[in-house]
Structure 1
């Protein structure tokens, strides 16, 4: 079991820590609002991750096989949602302005996971590699894989959030904060484009 967990973590490392919609959103929120303010969105995202991963582990992936048109719909909706978040970040004022934006909410975290088709692909790939059809304790194996996957993502997202928070401490002045917000917004636009074309 320990070997399986280690192999799973090695498999997930580049997927979890590379720049993606979740990591960039949390880095941007960490930069704009600080680590603590991102906790509701993080709870939403990772609770949704655990539930969706558990469901896919128990065979809900068949829904996509039955209705293949759901995947491109999710892909487009997910990219649109990330673009909307990028627009909010681009328009974000500095902390000294009258109209200070709100950090991402619990619902934003849930929606980011639900509308990210890449997450479904990664989860399906993960189960195809680490869950054997002949597994005698399927329930235990699915729970273990789901929990390791979710906790690994939580550590990755928390790392990116702290990076964003640290960057904001370096760029304290208003003009620097605006530059930082717009840089993260541009990265999110790139991520949304990648979601559409990949």
Structure 2
């Protein structure tokens, strides 16, 4: 058995990372995270989750190529509507939609030259990944940022494996009432408003009850 070498304190402190230099509201929400690792987004249907993911995907095109693997929805009219409303044609050179691409096929894509740096996978439940398969995927592609989108069970991700991914993620984002509530290891922490009018009406209703 080969034991991995240990790092000294000086080696750790001098190590360089590729960061996402977010600005404005994105910086307030996420801080300056690494451009690799795992994020998890979850929320109930109709909460603004799909719109937020597309807004985030558009922002990430400033920092590299983005792939959105729509395992659940596929290239359907609802996806077209979301793409149109978020004006994704403005970033079409750096954004692609994968139509229900199996994880094994995605791995082949990620090994090619000029592969996407940021990969959305919607939804985690549709991947069928076990805990060990998830770990193997992220370890196989240490320079990729995987952003998994999960179904919700109450205010938690649905299923034990998704809950494991939540604890393992660098950034965890719960969506409710057209707001994104982040927990980030890189700073930030401010809620992100996905849709002002929808958020105003939803939270006004919560306050009134």
Give the TM-score of the pair, scaled to structure 1: 0.24
Q: Which has the larger strand fraction?
A: 2
Give the TM-score of the pair, scaled to structure 2: 0.23
Indicate the structure whose relative CO is greater, using CA pairs within 8 Å and at least 6 residues apart: 1
